[in-house]
Structure 1
Amino acid sequence: MPLNFNKAEFVRSAGEPKDFLRDGLPQFAFAGRSNVGKSSVINRLVGRKNLAYVGASPGKTTHINYFLIDQKAYLVDLPGYGYAKVSRSEKERWARLMETYFQREADAITTGVLIVDIRHKPTANDLVMHDWFRQTGCPEIVVANKLDKLKKSQVEPALELIQETLELTERDILIPFSAEKGSGKDELLRLLVDACRG
């Protein structure tokens, strides 16, 4: 089905499992560590500057946020992990919330989008998230953000390191992306629309 990502609206923020949305619409779950530019990637996809909150300090997404796309699907913004300077109890709350989302909502997730930083080797937390997506059985797209920060000669080795660390096969999808410049946006949008058709 066609999907207009420019028609996006915030619907709900879930701080606990009882607030999860289950209405049968496809869900694209976006995950990534706190300083990876997840909100910026989302904002680039929907053509808005401030749909998803972009904080000066990482870790501002503390709930699971649902954005309705074209009345046909949800873009689900999961809490960032691994970097934010917050209390241990708050980090544990995020982890429990995420874990419950993956356990209960596995059949609702149409596609998982894991956002990593192209400049760095994926972290242990990235590997955990990657594993969670794999366990749900849903298709996963790995988005290597911050492409604009690398020289052209650095891109291929950086992508190879990500493939190696996450043990991606030729069937897995890895998109070099720049939330800043828009590189990779069209390919990611096309894949999400295709996932809805499937």
Structure 2
Amino acid sequence: MKVNKAEIVISAVSEKQYPADRKPEIALAGRSNVGKSSFINKIINRKNLARTSSKPGKTQTLNFYNINDLLYFVDVPGYGYARVSKKEREKWGKMMEEYFSLRDTLRLTVLIVDIRHEPTEDDRMMYDFLKYYEIPVLVIATKLDKIAKNKRSAHIKRVVETLDLDQSDSVIPFSAETSEGKEDVWSYLSNYMK
């Protein structure tokens, strides 16, 4: 898909702040520092609409990005970052639970993992949490350019097995460096944009 318009509409912390125009939403979740902002920027052809940072834990709100006036990408706070206080983590947890459990315009969650490493306990918990709420999941295995071509299928298999991926969910290997996987991502997302 050619993205002509991409803008942040609101950084929300509660339901009363969510956009009211009923566009379909695709949430983006992942560990802090897994490359969520780089994924968003690459997929929409922007250098820095989503702020990338070397400091994990930067996203502390639900950031709603309007894409072509067709849908919202909703960037949720990264999880698994130890330097955030327990109180702050609980606040994020409540905010995310409210969003995932109540939002009926949410069509899909993109769960971003690092293909180089086995998904963490936090990744597994996030996946299980989404399945509990019966939300379809697309797993993006990012940093594909860092893996030798002959090792890719083994790494993808490890992601599928570690997350115990439901047969209705998919994994797409992706590189924000080379754009590999970008067309596959848009092709998959197009099924959830109505």
Tell me the TM-score normalised to structure 2 length: 0.93
Amino acid at match of 2:62: I
Matched, 1:185 2:186: no
Q: Is the 8 A contact 1:43 1:49 kept in 2?
A: yes
Please list, as runs of the form range in 1=range in 2, the aligned pairs for 1:6-155 lying within 5 A after superposition. Answer: 6-83=4-81, 85-105=83-103, 107-155=104-152
Cα distance in 2 for partners of 1:117, 1:22 equals 33
Please list the CA deviations of residues 69-96 of structure 1 after superposition, one character each: whole Å capped at 9, or x if unmatched. Answer: 1111101001111025222211121111
Q: 1:170 to 1:137 in 2, by over 3 A?
A: closer
Q: 1:184 to 1:11 in 2, by over 3 A?
A: same
Q: What count of residue pairs does the alignment treat as equivalent?
A: 194
Cα distance in 2 for partners of 1:83, 1:132 equals 18
Cα distance in 2 for partners of 1:15, 1:75 equals 16
Please list the CA deviations of residues 141-168 of structure 1 after superposition, one character each: whole Å capped at 9, or x if unmatched. Answer: 1000011111122211111111101112
Consecutive unaligned residues of structure 2, counting only runs of 5 or more, are none
2:158 paired residue among 143, 146, 161: 161
Percent identity of equivalent pairs:
45
Cα distance in 1 for partners of 2:59, 2:82 equals 10
SS class of match (2:139):
strand
Cα distance in 1 for partners of 2:19, 2:177 equals 30
